[in-house]
């Protein structure tokens, strides 16, 4: 299971509202690359599951994740934090053995 903190869920809702389209949710995934081997991917996407997607809802946010990404992200908590330089999503991934300094990529 992947968990969104209340701050992250609130930010995702704002992004979805900004798109002004029906039936949108948060797609979570990984891709090869980045400083540590795999990078986190977040996107606002149509809530139309693809083959092997897991879908669930948390705090009013529909979430989609593909099976491969779910293997590497199970147990992850996603938070959203504001800073002087802007805001951003942060991943607390218990499966990550090593992360890069900016926290956008990891290795298992």
Extents of the domains making up the chain: 3-107
Contacts of 17-22 with CB under 8 Å at 24 or more apart are: 19/44
Q: Which residues lie closer than 8 Å to 93 by C-beta, 6 or more apart?
A: 72, 73, 75, 76, 99, 106
Overall average pLDDT of the 50-72 stretch:
92
- pLDDT score at 65: 95
- pLDDT score at 14: 95
- pLDDT score at 104: 54
DSSP state of 53: E
pTM for the full predicted model = 0.83
Task: Flag the least confident range among 20-29, 51-60, 75-84, 86-95.
Answer: 86-95
Topology of the domain comprising 3-107: Hypothetical Protein Aq_1857; Chain: A; (2.60.300)
Among 68, 14, 80, 49, CA closest to 57: 49
**Phi, psi of 66, deg, nearest 5:** -80, 160
Overall average pLDDT of the 22-40 stretch:
81
């Amino acid at each position: 299971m992947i968990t969104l903190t209340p701050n992250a869920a609130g930010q995702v809702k704002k992004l979805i509202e900004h798109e002004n389209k029906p039936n949108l949710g948060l797609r979570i995934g990984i891709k090869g690359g980045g400083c540590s081997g795999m990078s986190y991917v977040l996107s606002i996407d149509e809530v139309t599951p693809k083959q092997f997607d897991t879908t669930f809802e948390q705090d009013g946010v529909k979430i989609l994740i593909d099976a491969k990404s779910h293997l590497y992200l199970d147990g992850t908590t996603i938070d959203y934090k504001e800073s002087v330089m802007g805001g951003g999503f942060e991943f607390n991934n218990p499966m990550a053995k090593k992360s890069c300094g900016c926290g956008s990529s990891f290795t298992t």
